[in-house]
Amino acid sequence: MTDQTLSGGISLNDTRRSYAALVQRRRLYGGITVLIFILLMVGGFNIADERNAGGFWNGLGQLGDFPEGVISEAWEKRGQLSGHMVTYFGALLETINIAAVSTLVGAVAGIILSLLSTRGLAYWPRLTPLFRRIMDVMRAVPEIVIALVLIFILGGGPVPAMIAIAFHTAGALGKLFSEVAENADLKPVEGLESVGVNWAQRMLLGVMPQVAPNYLSYALLRFEINIRASAILGFVGAGGIGYELKNAMTWGQGRFDEAAAIFLMLFGTIVLFDQISSHYRNRLTKGDQA
């Protein structure tokens, strides 16, 4: 008995052969996918390189020049560095304020949108798809679009950036919030309903206590993101530290010490708020028994 057969008369060799063929085909498909991906990456890189003003390989050598220039100039004038930091502290505060206000406003709008678009909680259950689409659009509009339009109407300053970031935040948080709210236990809501409480009270007393830790954790994460966004928007003209950075950059050589001070402050702020927020997020999601 050399030829082993399985029940049903299929020989083991056949099975082995078909398995080998399957593996081979799988490898082929995998290989083709990887090949296409590599081609896309290389081709894309070459196109981007061609369209760029300076080439990649030339630029690679000059990569260190600018940081070196900034650092050496900042080192020469290191005595003035703390002075610059004091000067630009107000601008930094404005950037942080923009992020904080837009996170607060965006989170409140996000909460309302999320409750309106969650099955089982919505005030108008039939309109949930509508509110979902609204959130999709709000998330899709890049902040810079709203900021630029509002700068044209309202003039420069923190308010356009604040509105732009809050708008995007409302959409982004609304989606995350509604995912959390979907998993909320409906029993407290039903209990409240049975005693004749209105919708707003049901949400506030029945849903909010359940979802608050997750909501807060998402809002904190968003605050981190919004600090970065508010610095970037400043660079396009919406006030704050980004605007000062742009000015310091356009003055160029000789004013790099100011740029260096702003770089340092921005870096420090981002790291600081990242740390604070991740600390509290850990406590919120893993529970604080302290």
Give residues in contact with another protein (CB under 8 A): 37, 40-41, 44-45, 47-49, 51-56, 59-60, 62-63, 65-67, 94, 97, 100-101, 104, 136-137, 139-145, 148-149, 152-155, 157-159, 162, 228, 231-232, 235-236, 242, 245, 249, 263, 266-267, 270-271, 274
**Between residues 101 and 192, which has the closer beta carbon with respect to another protein?**
101
The minimum distance between CB 126 and another protein, in angstroms, equals: 23
Whether the CB-CB separation of 277 and 224 falls below 8 Å is answered with yes
Q: Which two tokens stand for residue 56?
A: 């990649």
Q: From the CB of 172, what's the least distance to another protein, in Å? A: 9
Residue 10 or 22: the one with the smaller Cβ distance to another protein is 22
CB of 21 to another protein, least distance (A): 19
Q: Work out how close the CB of 197 gets to another protein at its nearest, in angstroms, rounded to a whole number.
A: 18
Q: How far is the CB of 53 from another protein (least distance, A)?
A: 3
Place of tokens 């999320």: 114
**Spatial distance between the Cα atoms of 38 and 43, rounded to a whole number of angstroms:** 8
Q: Which amino acid is at 3?
A: D
Q: How far is the CB of 54 from another protein (least distance, A)?
A: 3
Query: Distance from CA of residue 269 to its chain's centroid?
Result: 17
* Residue number, 10 or 39, with CB nearest to another protein: 39
Sign, CA dihedral 116-118-124-128, equals positive
User: Contact 206/189 with Cβ under 8 angstroms?
Assistant: yes
The residue (of 1 and 86) whose beta carbon lies closer to another protein is 86
Return the number of the residue (157 or 213) whose C-beta is nearest another protein.
Answer: 157
Closest to another protein by CB, 7 or 289: 289
